[in-house]
Amino acid sequence: MTAKILKINPKKIGHARLRPVADAIRKGKLVIFPTETIYGIGANALDAKAVRGIYRAKGRPSKNPLIVHVDSMRMAKEMGDIPKKYESRIAKAWPGAVTFVVKVRKIVPRVVTGGLETVAIRMPEDRLTRELVSMSGVPIAAPSANMHGRPSPTSARHVIGDFKSKVAFIVDAGRSKYGVESTIVDLSTFTLLRPGAFPVEDIERIFKMRLNVPEQARGTRDSRKALSPGMKYKHYAPSTPLFLFTGKPDTIGRLVKGIDANIAFLGSSETCMRIGGRMITIPLGSRSDLREIAHNLFDRLRFLDSLGVDFVIAESFSEKGMGLAVMNRLRRASQHLEFRTRKGLLDLKRLSQL
């Protein structure tokens, strides 16, 4: 199979052009499609066989459940038990880049939920995505369209190499609006499971409640454990080792002086401008615009593997608004290899056997 690549102008959705994509979904095929967050690889959520194909195509462990994309509150209620007390607030957040985890209904095959009794549901902000659900007439189960462990795709060119022989269609609508995945909230405990494109502050404002934000959702881990050699857990990881610098951005130039290695620096345009020379710089955007940083992050994480450097140093950002999602992704992309002193950097370099 070779995917048909379908370019669509998101401002002028041609229904006739989307029709074959919707038909393919209904027939149990896999399709890669854009959302406002990132690109997803989807199938009919009610077709267990088709959904198994998603896990296979990504090399994703079967215990890691998928998000079900819906086009309406009515469809959401068919998939899960939307708590009455939250319904009007959910309706304010949707359509939007936020996913809610609720009790699953029988209609959803257990392969979608990885065997769990809960299901993650979201009604995307992107009109094209909702239109695709509506035209398919079924909910679409979709994880991010990246191979397991790799950075999420924010444009069609990120998916073609890995997936063109595995899916029926790749719908290309240009760069994703936000560039990080949806925020995930467990409604049974009102807990943040993953920070994302919908800021925690906005959820709290809409729900008029404090959200529980566990350490894990921020992406932090015990540093001693993180530095142990048995560290296997990988996510969003480029192939090039990435070290997260948690100190003052101004000092980074001094810390790397005289270190024998080819280093790239991923950070704010302000810091990139200041350090110059010693390192290849990959600017993410202005430090004062965390949306822009988030928007560029995954694309640059993929790009840095093409540089052939020994390792990359990433700057840390504020955890306000979109910054929480940015820092979660950076901590995990770095596999918790963090430093703030020159000695810390040298230790990491040794640990990575550079």
User: Which spans of this chain sit near Mg ion (rule: CB under 5 A)?
Assistant: 144
Q: Looking at residues 317 to 336 of the shown chain, list those that interact with ligand TXA (rule: CB under 6 A).
A: none
193 touching ligand TXA, by CB under 6 A: yes
176 touching ligand TXA, by CB under 6 A: no
Shortest distance in whole angstroms from residue 158 CB to Mg ion? 13
Shortest distance in whole angstroms from residue 132 CB to Mg ion? 19
Contact with ligand TXA (CB under 6 A): which of 21, 111, 142, 345? Answer: 142
Contact with ligand TXA (CB under 6 A): which of 3, 32, 37, 338? Answer: 37
Residue 268 binds what, of Mg ion, ligand TXA, none (CB under 5 to 8 Å, by partner type)?
none
Q: Name every residue whose Cβ is closer than 8 Å to that of residue 106 and which is 6 or more positions away in sequence.
A: none
119 touching ligand TXA, by CB under 6 A: yes
181 touching ligand TXA, by CB under 6 A: yes
Shortest distance in whole angstroms from residue 188 CB to ligand TXA? 10
**Bridge partner residues of 81 (DSSP):** 103
Which residue number places its CB atom closest to Mg ion? 144
Inter-CA distances, 102 with 40, 97, 184, 307, Å = 21, 16, 11, 43
CA–CA separation, 215 and 221 (whole Å): 8
Shortest distance in whole angstroms from residue 332 CB to ligand TXA? 11
Q: Hunting for tokens 């899916």 — which residue is that?
A: 167
Shortest distance in whole angstroms from residue 207 CB to ligand TXA? 18
Residue 182 binds what, of ligand TXA, Mg ion, none (CB under 5 to 8 Å, by partner type)?
ligand TXA
35 touching ligand TXA, by CB under 6 A: yes
| Range 73-77 contact pairs with CB under 8 angstroms and sequence separation of 24 or more | 73/123, 75/133, 75/139, 76/121, 76/123
62 touching ligand TXA, by CB under 6 A: no
Q: Which H helix or E strand runs over 283?
A: strand 280-283
Token digits of residue 284 = 């993410």
Q: What does 149-191 look like in DSSP terms, one character per residue?
A: TSPPPSSTHHHHHHHTTT-SEEEE-SS-SS-SPPEEEETTTTE
Nearer CB in complex with Mg ion: 169/236: 236
Q: Beta strand pairing status for 140-142 and 39-44?
A: antiparallel
Nearer CB in complex with ligand TXA: 181/319: 181
Please give the radius of gyration of the chain, using alpha carbons only, rounded to the nearest integer: 21
Contact with ligand TXA (CB under 6 A): which of 18, 54, 55, 65? Answer: 65
344 touching ligand TXA, by CB under 6 A: no
